[in-house]
Homo-oligomer: A and B are copies of this chain.
Amino acid sequence: MALISPSRRLRRTAFSEGVEAAGVKAYTVYNHMLLPTVFRSVEEDYHHLKSAVQVWDVSVERQVELRGPDAGRLMQMLTPRDLRGMLPGMCYYVPIVDETGGMLNDPVALKLSDERYWISIADSDLLFWVKGLAYGLHLDVLVDEPDVSPLAVQGPRADDLMERIFGSSVRDLRFFRYGYFDFQGRDLIVARSGYSKQGGFEIYVEDSAIGMPLWNALFEAGKDLDVHAGCPNLIERIEGGLLSYGNDMTRENTPHECGLGRFCSTQTAIGCVGRDALLRVAKEGPVQQIRAISIDGPKIGGSDRSWPVTTEKGKRIGKITSAAWSPDYETNVAIGMVRMTHWDEGDRITVETTDGPREATVHEQFWI
């Protein structure tokens, strides 16, 4: 792996002290901020995530706050998902598209009230798009990045650990719902959500000053639960089909290509900037789509580039955008975008990896 030079531009987080003390081994950069990628090893972290409980510094999920009389209207302009049923206490996964229907981000939005939303973003400066729209359309809304740092608690023992800090009622939270829970006299938003398929929570830590007190409290309380520092795990997220903006999709792609058509109510959702562009896609369907792909042969490692996907005759029909060896499924699991001629279950394709070609199989379901 390459080295990364220290820079103030690559921001530390409210939990960096804890992350360093826990022996972080590598990072990525996400929203101009450091995101841990490895603690013990990607495989050790993977097994532990699936069997115990981890605390993740996901401060990089910066919030875009919309506040004011036009907040709801603006929120609906951002996404093709129909938000009319969204109430305070709910989290919605919302593809964000531009006027051509191209993906700008794929965040989770929280409705705090009719006039206030948080958008917990993937890796792009969504703030700039939202501010530009609000200004250009003369909307009565304030748009800003507040001092909120999400801390995730993920894994099968997440409920047990969280109960010890926030009380037993935290167990009652339903998936993609949030509530307010006390920590040292502060009301923090806690949601049942997170970037893994192992279950767990995200705590929206408002005010960096309580970041380390909360981090320390979780580790102190979870000793007998084998709590460890962790981070979004490459293998586990591919197995679960959790997409990564910038890897698996970019501004080039529509939500439909990303398999997110179920979040697009282009017939009803009114006011979304990209609706007109997406009407045609919704009607005709995309010509390429994201698929789960298993790649034959020995273990493959992480890569800094996408790999072309071809037919056996060498015709280009897509690309692999994420891939890793899965110890549990004993195959290389991957996410890729493939053309409709080869996106059915069992279709055989060729992947041009950095180390040469590999045969592979297309699947309609991820490993969940």
A305 to B8, CA, bound (A): 5
Q: What's the number of copies of this chain in the assembled complex?
A: 2
Q: Say yes or no: A6 contacts B132, CB within 8 Å.
A: no
Question: Which residues does chain B contribute within 8 Å of A247, judged by CB atoms?
Answer: 7-9
A278-321 vs B: 1/0 string, CB under 8 Å? Answer: 00000000000000000000000011111000000000000001
Interface flags for A116-134 (1: CB within 8 Å of B; 0: not) read 0000000111111111111
Q: In whole angstroms, how far apart are the Cα atoms of A276 and B134 in the complex?
A: 17
Chain A contacts with B in 1-39, Cβ cutoff 8 A: 1-10, 12, 24-30, 32, 34, 37-38
Bin the interface of chain A by size.
Answer: 35 or more
B8 touches A123 (CB 8 A): no
CA distance A8 to B38 in the complex (A): 17
Do B5 and A37 touch (CB < 8 A)?
yes
Neighbouring B residues of A98 by C-beta, 8 Å: 131, 135
Tell me the bound Cα distance from A5 to B34 in angstroms: 11
* Bound: A37/B4 CA distance, A: 8
Q: What's the least CB distance linking A364 to chain B, in Å?
A: 23
Interface pair B26/A4, CB less than 8 Å apart? yes
Task: Identify A4's interface contact among B1, B99, B128, B132, CB under 8 A.
Answer: B1
Tell which of B132, B321, B322 touches A135, judged by Cβ atoms closer than 8 Å: B132
Do A104 and B133 have beta carbons less than 8 Å apart? no
Interface residue ranges, A against B (CB under 8 Å): 1-10, 12, 24-30, 32, 34, 37-38, 98-99, 104, 123-137, 244-247, 273, 302-306, 321-322
29 CB < 8 A contacts A-B: A1-B4, A1-B5, A1-B6, A2-B4, A2-B6, A2-B24, A2-B27, A3-B25, A3-B26, A5-B27, A7-B28, A7-B247, A7-B304, A8-B246, A8-B306, A8-B321, A10-B304, A12-B305, A32-B246, A126-B128, A128-B128, A128-B132, A129-B129, A129-B131, A129-B132, A132-B134, A133-B135, A135-B136, A136-B137
